[in-house]
Amino acid sequence: MRTHTGVKPYKCDQCDYSAAWKASLDRHMTQHTGDKPYMCEECGHRTAQRLTLSRHMRTHTGEKPYKCDQCDYSTAWKTSLNKHMAKHTGDKPYKCGECGYKTAYKSTLTRHIRIHTGGKRYKCDQCDYSATYRRHLAEHILDKHTGDKPYMCGECGFRTAYRSALVNHMRTHTGVKHYKCDQCDYSAAQKGHLDQHIMAKHTGVKPYMCGECGFRTAYKSALSRHMRTHKEEKAYKCNQCDFSTAHKQNLDEHMAKHTREKRYECDHCDYSAVEKKDLDSHIVKHHIFKPYML
- Beta pairing partners, 151: 160
Give pLDDT, residue 14.
80
Residue type, 272: S
Give pLDDT, residue 2.
57
Give pLDDT, residue 190.
73
Distance CA 234, CA 228 (A): 7
Distance CA 274, CA 257 (A): 7
Distance CA 152, CA 166 (A): 7
pTM of the predicted protein model:
0.31
Q: Which residues of the chain have pLDDT under 70?
A: 1-5, 115, 118-119, 231-233, 287-294
Distance CA 8, CA 17 (A): 9
Please return the burial class of 168, using the count of CB atoms within 10 Å of its CB with bins 0-12, 13-18 and 19+. middle
53 CB-side CA count, 13 A: 15
DSSP state of 290: P
Q: Which domains can be identified in the chain, with CATH numbers?
A: 236-288 (3.30.160.60)
